[in-house]
Amino acid sequence: MPKIVVLPHADLCPDGAVLEAKEGETILDVALRNGIEVEHACEKSCACTTCHCVVREGFDSLDPSDELEDDMLDKAWGLEPESRLSCQAKVTDEDLVVEFPKYTVNLASERH
């Protein structure tokens, strides 16, 4: 069973975590199932960037992002070549090391 190592994040997971995942699950679903409350303002519909993550190890094992995800990622804070929306990136048979950026852009909440 593949594992996702979540690097420490001051708010979401101060000590980091090692999570068991099932092939085909998204990074976001694995995090949420394990109590890591990653923001996902669009309810996993690939319509925002609040669940943006950077896959530090295992990036090449993921299916490539599609055009919609790429368009959304262009709006993400702290975009890197290994950035993905965690609601779209599905775990395969390889372990991953994932970092959630310090900041996120939530256009829905920032409009008020």
Quote the CA–CA distance of 7 and 15 in Å, as a whole number: 8
Give me the CATH number covering residue 95. 3.10.20.30
Helical H segments across the chain, by residue range: 27-33, 67-73, 107-110
* pTM of this prediction exceeds 0.75: yes
Integer distance in angstroms from the first to the last C-alpha of the chain?
A: 43
For 30, the domain range is: 3-110
pLDDT of residue 110: 44
User: Could you give the number of structural domains in the chain?
Assistant: 1
What phi and psi values does residue 55 have, to the nearest 5 degrees? -90, 100
pLDDT the model gives residue 1:
92
Nearest to 37 by CA among 57, 56, 11, 8: 11
pLDDT of residue 104: 80
**Average pLDDT for runs of 10 along the chain of length 112:** 97 96 98 96 94 98 97 94 98 98 68 38
Q: What is the pLDDT of residue 108?
A: 52
